[in-house]
Amino acid sequence: MANPPTFADVQTILFTITASQDDIQERIEIYGRHDAQGRYSWETEPELLASIANPYGKGDVQLIPDKPYATMSDEQITQQCPLVSKLSPGTDGSPPAMPPLSPATARRHATADELATIRNWLRTIPYPRGF
């Protein structure tokens, strides 16, 4: 059996789909667009697990709520985890909400395998997290 995914695997996916792996300034701009209070980041695992998005000041959204992902189906994780739901296509086949694509960037949407990696990493997170 293969080893479960790690935070480094998830971080690489996030770097890749946002085309920001080599540019910390680009990531800081992305983080700032998601939350002006500096509570959104995937620089470290604790930062990603604690990330709050509040784009446009419309209300705080915890990116990865403290839930028992190990016992959840793929569909349940996609529905209940904003990180996964925003990166996933809609149930109607509509494109994912994130990341926003632009011809001026190399951003792209996550593949099905990348989404599976993120869900499987979530399943390794202890519940409750205790913070």
**36 in a structural domain:** yes
- What are the residues facing 61 on neighbouring strands? 53
Task: Report the alpha-carbon distance of residue 121 to residue 9 in Å, rounded.
Answer: 8
Range of the domain at 28: 7-58
Mean pLDDT, the chain, integer: 94
In the predicted model, is pLDDT for residue 131 greater than 70?
no
Would residue 32 count as lying in a domain?
yes
The structural domain count of the chain equals 1
pLDDT in tens, 34-74: 999 999 999 999 999 999 999 888 899 999 999 999 999 99
Residue 126 lies in a domain: no
Q: Model's pTM, two decimal places? A: 0.94
Query: Is residue 1's pLDDT more than 60?
Result: no
Contact status, residue 15 vs residue 108, Cβ threshold 8 Å: no
In a domain, 84, yes or no: no
The answer to the question of residue 53 being in a domain is: yes
- Give domain status of residue 100, yes or no: no
The whole-angstrom separation of Cα 16 and Cα 110 is 9
